[in-house]
Amino acid sequence: MSVEGFVITEGNTVQEAVSKALRMLQVKKEQTTIEIISEGKQGFLGVGSRLAKVKVSIKEDAKAELELTDILVDLHIRDESLAAQYSPKVTDKMTGVAAVVNGKVVVTDPSDLGSYAILKPGRNMRLIINGQETVEETPVSEGDMIQVELVDEKPVSSLELTVADNKLEALLRLVSQPGATYRLMDQAETNKLLLQIEVAEIIESPPVTVEDVIRFLQEKNVVKGILNAGIQQVLENQNGKEGFPVARGLKPEDGIDAYIRLPFLDDAKEDEEEPLFNHHQMVSVSPGEVVAIKVPKQIGRDGWAVTGEPIPAALPKDCEMCIKSGCEFTGDGEMVVATIAGRPGTANIGNKTFVHVDPVYEVKDVDQTIGNIKFAGDVLVRGSVRDGYKIEADGNIEVFGDVTRAAITAGASVTIHQQALGSIITAGGRAALYSSILPGLKETGEMLNNVRAVAEQLKSVPAFKTSDLRAKGDGPLIQLLLDSKFNVLPQTVSELSETMLGSKQTVHEQVLDCVNLLQKDLCGLGSVNIESVDYLQRLKECVDLVVGLINDSIRKEDCIKVKYVQNCTLQSSGDVIIEGQGCYISTVTAGGEVIVSGNPGVARGVKVVSNGNVTVKELGSDFDTQTSVAVNCNSKVSAGLIHPNVTVKVGGDKFRVDNLYKNFDAYINYEGQLVVDKLLTGEKRQ
Amino acid sequence: MLDVQVSTDGKNKILRLVGELDIATVDRFKKSVDEAREDVSGMILDMAKLGFVDSTGVGGLLNVVKSLRKDSVEVKVCNVSAEVYEVFDLLGLPMLLGKEIFE
């Protein structure tokens, strides 16, 4: 029976729909009220036919009487189709019939030669005829011994436990279903009888107590962090959709990694992503000032699972603080203080952090009173750099005034607060050098591996005699390989060495040592003295180390920042940023981006070669001055305004501007084609 | 052991190498080439009977070929056994000297 106490059914006729409803409700017609929703229509040859629809409700007084059978009515609805076949039919006196009267099967034999009554067992019962159990339709006669054993439904109470993957929570749900005892339902005489049951008594499910739940949890190994309130909830909300937490573990608190705190960054917190101080701002420390503090790792707190086992907290990582130059450890070794006045900085190699303080050389003006400057640190010019003077610095160079017909070369960045006229300005010498030797170093590393592999292979070729190698070591073989298949290797190493020697940049000791070692061992007759091919592996490891160091070192690119540029040559390993009026009749080479962003932000008569995007407010001029911009194929040239005759080159594709455009963008799309977006200005400027 | 049999074919000298080209015989090989190189336009190194080489031997061969080429003597290496060719191949000789040198 449906909970509402009524059903809505359909049938070809009203009568059919009603009988269907009565079957579904398991009630007699007089116990119900019937409401006809639709009469139904026969239609013509099935066209336009409509089913009859009725709503059959159980009368209030009948409900109480029927309540008992409610619980298991689902069962009967499922039986409906089967029951339909067995619905009482007009019984023919010629045939045998069977009925259930007061819970007993009563069989009447046919009067004449008609067929015998047929029995079929229904649900929850075993039909035993003359000691033989049957599940099929079976003809029976009066003389047969018919036994019906009813199978009662047992009540069920079960607990469903879900322990979270991290074992920090256990959810419990109580599912309980009452059981029932049955009796055979009385049925009228029919020649084909489906035996059916009705509920005799409902058996409540056994009560579950808090103690039961705790015992159950213990069996399931949930022993720690039991929540009594949760258990109460489970018991009060049986058959709930979801479980309730009945136990909760303790989450571990992970340890905190050790790190190096740099107090000088606290004041100059401009770029938090780059733990290294900002290149464009002069940070300085005085002797005795704290440069770095190691904040020790903090051990976390272990947690535990609901199953009782501990959950260990993640172990914190330690880091090592080392000193390089211009600073020293204080007594306990947890702090670094400056020994000189200068610019503090750090370099990370692996999990080691090297702290250094580079000296800063500060002058008023660079002129005849000072002369040229060459300094292994930063140079700060409070005034200007005058005609014909030179500054070379390993670190940054910052000039607050102008730079006029001078040469400025910095290992790191250059910042000029006023204008640069007729000068040569180079930034990031070391990074530029490192970038140039990096490919060669990587190639060398790979080739070393290959030489080793081929040498091993050769030794196993039958026609290749190795007696000379046994006497003299692997040297002659390596020499031969470097003379033949791998003759590129000594060449590459020589080039590396030449590049390093040719550059005035100071480089890391490890880089210099490595290249010198390669030169000694692989060029000329050096390789003859190598004892074993395994030595090549050691060389390769040395190269790998240096490649890592260089990668670390050139990650932070240096840049040139200047307000106004005229008749200059600018070379930067990183960006070139012109923040004032613009850039006139100059050559700009950049490893990063070129940005001309000031007011009006003009680049006119310039030649720009850049490895990154070029963004200019106004590019070129009306006077047909030669202006060209070249970028690599992954970069973009953008100009707010672009004049005719400017040449734009992106990767290998060239575009010559033929008109005055605004909002100009040129780039290579994903199909490898040059795309030029632009808008005609519609006016010709004079 | 290495035996070098020299014969002349017009302007070409043919050196037939028999035995092994290794640290013990490389000097004998160089000497034979030096004696034969006077007034020739081409030199053919027949290696049909060459069974073994070592790194010193191949190094010597490489130097000889380079030196002959410097004097505009055309060098050919022929009848190299598969075993010895495997060594030459691993050392990249066909690439270095040009494939056409091997016949």
pLDDT digits (tens, 9 = 90+) for A362-383: 889 998 888 888 887 889 999 9
The helix/strand/coil state of A320 is strand
Question: According to the model, what pLDDT value does residue A577 have?
Answer: 93
Q: How confident is the model at residue A46 (pLDDT cuts 50, 70, 90)?
A: low
Which residues does B contribute to its contact with A (CB < 8 Å)?
20, 22-23, 51-59, 62, 81, 83-84, 86-87, 90-93, 95-96
The most distant pair of C-alpha atoms in chain A lies apart, rounded to whole Å, by 145
Tell if the CB–CB gap between B54 and A469 is shorter than 8 Å: yes
Q: What chain B residue is nearest to A487 in terms of C-alpha separation?
A: B96
Q: Which chain B positions have a beta carbon within 8 Å of A471's beta carbon?
A: 23
* Mean pLDDT value of segment A329-344: 84
Tell if the CB–CB gap between A467 and B54 is shorter than 8 Å: yes
Tell if the CB–CB gap between A464 and B22 is shorter than 8 Å: no
* Mean pLDDT value of segment A96-101: 87
The helix/strand/coil state of A492 is helix
Q: Which domain holds residue B31?
A: 2-101
Decide: A594 and A576 in contact? Cβ < 8 Å: yes
Tell if the CB–CB gap between B90 and A477 is shorter than 8 Å: no
* Mean pLDDT value of segment B76-97: 88
Q: Is the pLDDT of residue A255 over 50?
A: yes
pLDDT digits (tens, 9 = 90+) for A157-171: 888 898 988 889 999
The helix/strand/coil state of A686 is coil
Q: How confident is the model at residue A530 (pLDDT cuts 50, 70, 90)?
A: confident
* Mean pLDDT value of segment A574-586: 91
| Residue type at position A615 | T
The helix/strand/coil state of A234 is helix
A464 at B interface, C-beta within 8 A: yes
The helix/strand/coil state of A306 is coil
Task: Please name the residues in contact with A678: beta carbons below 8 A apart, sequence gap of 6 or more.
Answer: A642, A661, A662, A663, A664, A665
Q: How confident is the model at residue A271 (pLDDT cuts 50, 70, 90)?
A: very low
Q: How confident is the model at residue A68 (pLDDT cuts 50, 70, 90)?
A: very low
Q: Is the pLDDT of residue A189 over 90?
A: no
Q: How confident is the model at residue A48 (pLDDT cuts 50, 70, 90)?
A: low
Q: Which chain B positions have a beta carbon within 8 Å of A487's beta carbon?
A: 96
Distance CA A230, CA A250 (A): 17
Distance CA B46, CA B13 (A): 10
Choose the mutation target among A452, A454, A467, A484 for the interface with B, i.e. most B CBs under 10 Å: A484
Distance CA A594, CA A589 (A): 9
Q: What chain A residue is nearest to B89 in terms of C-alpha separation?
A: A485
Q: For residue B3, report the phi and psi dihedrals to the nearest 5 degrees.
A: -120, 130
Q: How many residues does chain B have?
A: 103
Q: How confident is the model at residue A14 (pLDDT cuts 50, 70, 90)?
A: confident
Question: According to the model, what pLDDT value does residue A83 have?
Answer: 55
Q: Which chain B positions have a beta carbon within 8 Å of A460's beta carbon?
A: none
Query: Helix A534-554 and helix A509-522: axis angle, to 10°?
Result: 150
Question: According to the model, what pLDDT value does residue A282 have?
Answer: 54
Question: According to the model, what pLDDT value does residue A42 have?
Answer: 67
> What's the total number of domains in chain B?
1
Q: What is the CATH number of the domain that holds B8?
A: 3.30.750.24
Tell if the CB–CB gap between B53 and A469 is shorter than 8 Å: no
Question: According to the model, what pLDDT value does residue A305 have?
Answer: 92
Question: According to the model, what pLDDT value does residue A407 have?
Answer: 92
Of B23, B86, B95, Cβ closest to residue A468: B23
Choose the mutation target among B55, B65, B85, B95 for the interface with A, i.e. most A CBs under 10 Å: B55
pLDDT digits (tens, 9 = 90+) for B1-35: 888 888 888 888 899 999 999 888 999 999 999 88
Residue pointed to by tokens 């229904």:
A122
**Which parts of A274-351 are beta strand (E)?**
290-295, 303-304, 310-311, 320-325, 327-329, 335-338, 342-349
Tell if the CB–CB gap between B96 and A462 is shorter than 8 Å: no
Percentage of residues of chain A with pLDDT beyond 90: 25
Q: Is the pLDDT of residue B103 over 90?
A: no
Q: Number of A:B CB contacts under 8 A?
A: 69
Question: According to the model, what pLDDT value does residue A400 have?
Answer: 93
User: Containing H/E element for A76?
Assistant: helix A73-78
Q: Is the pLDDT of residue A686 over 70?
A: no
Q: How many residues does chain A have?
A: 686
Choose the weakest-confidence range: A18-22, B32-36, B95-99.
Answer: B95-99
Look up the CATH architecture of domain A259-359: Beta Barrel (2.40)
Nearest C-alpha neighbor of A18 from the set A54, A49, A51, A60: A54
Q: What chain A residue is nearest to B94 in terms of C-alpha separation?
A: A485
Q: Is the pLDDT of residue A517 over 50?
A: yes
